[in-house]
Amino acid sequence: MLIGYARTSTLEQVAGFDAQLRDLVQLGCEKVFREQVSSKGTRPQLEAALEFVRQGDTLVVTKLDRLARSVVHLGTIIETLEAKGVALRILNLGVDTATPTGKLMLNVLGGVAQFEREMMLERQREGIAKAKAEGAYKGRKPTARAKTAEIKALASEGLSMAAIAAKLGIGKGSVHRALNPKP
């Protein structure tokens, strides 16, 4: 049985999410676990998919980065799948761990992906340090802080934090911090 797993980090990534679902269904996945959460947080649907799969099944993802956040995390997932007799297929890489070559390719590609991510983060840190030294780096503008007066006005009208957040296009945490500043 083919079991699909689709994930995007944010709700704004609708097109990417829809494309993953389309590809998994077209391939013939009988069940698709889906979630829109950061790879860093808990992923209940990934856990549910890993719990659901049975011997002889294949877990299918469209891209490696939709599944694992690091080589270590990928290794943990592969161990879980292997212990259950389940293969992993990654569509965009053409990798299927049902074969020895597929297992080798997955380990190599996972290492390359982690190396690429670490290099990107290093370049980003270097760029920020250079911009700070030149006085050009200001960081992201504090959008929620700029709306503190609006937040307080809406709260005084009796709107809930969720309603204020939705109306202003900011997170509930930002509304909470604006209404309850630390001393």
Distance, in Å, from the CA atom of 1 to the CA atom of 53, rounded to the nearest integer, reads: 9
Task: Specify the DSSP class assigned to residue 158.
Answer: T
Q: Enumerate the active-site residues.
A: 9
Q: Answer yes or no: are the C-beta atoms of 27 and 1 closer than 8 Å.
A: no
Dihedral of alpha carbons 18, 24, 26, 31, sign: negative
Q: E strands of the chain, at which residues?
A: 2-8, 31-36, 58-61, 87-90, 95-96
> Is there a contact between 58 and 85 (Cβ–Cβ < 8 Å)?
no
Per DSSP bridges, beta strands 31-36 and 2-8 are parallel
Residues 10 and 35: their CA atoms lie apart, in Å, by: 9
